[in-house]
């Protein structure tokens, strides 16, 4: 199985794209404050899934999926 086959990974990438599209259209002030945090948070979802997917053991990968 490849990472791109995981539905949750694809959903997280779609979420990240939508957040970026929304933020780009916003005002400078909101981009500089809340939007930066929102973009980083949405991008990190896919990154954590990707990093956890490449781990060798369940116990090791679990730490990337549970908050």
Confidence of residue 35 (pLDDT cuts 50, 70, 90): confident
Confidence of residue 41 (pLDDT cuts 50, 70, 90): very high
How many domains does the structure of the chain reveal?
1
Confidence of residue 24 (pLDDT cuts 50, 70, 90): confident
pLDDT tens figures, 12-22: 999 999 999 98
Distance CA 14, CA 32 (A): 22
Distance CA 58, CA 60 (A): 5
- Residue appearing with tokens 């730490």: 63
Average pLDDT of 41-66?
80
- The domain containing residue 46 runs over which residues? 3-65
């Amino acid at each position: 199985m490849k990472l791109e086959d995981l539905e949750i990974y694809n959903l997280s990438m779609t979420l990240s794209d939508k957040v970026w599209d929304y933020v780009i259209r916003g005002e400078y002030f909101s981009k500089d404050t809340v939007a930066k945090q929102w973009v980083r948070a949405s991008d990190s979802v896919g990154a954590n899934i990707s990093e956890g997917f490449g781990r060798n053991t369940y116990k090791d990968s679990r730490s990337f999926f549970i908050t």
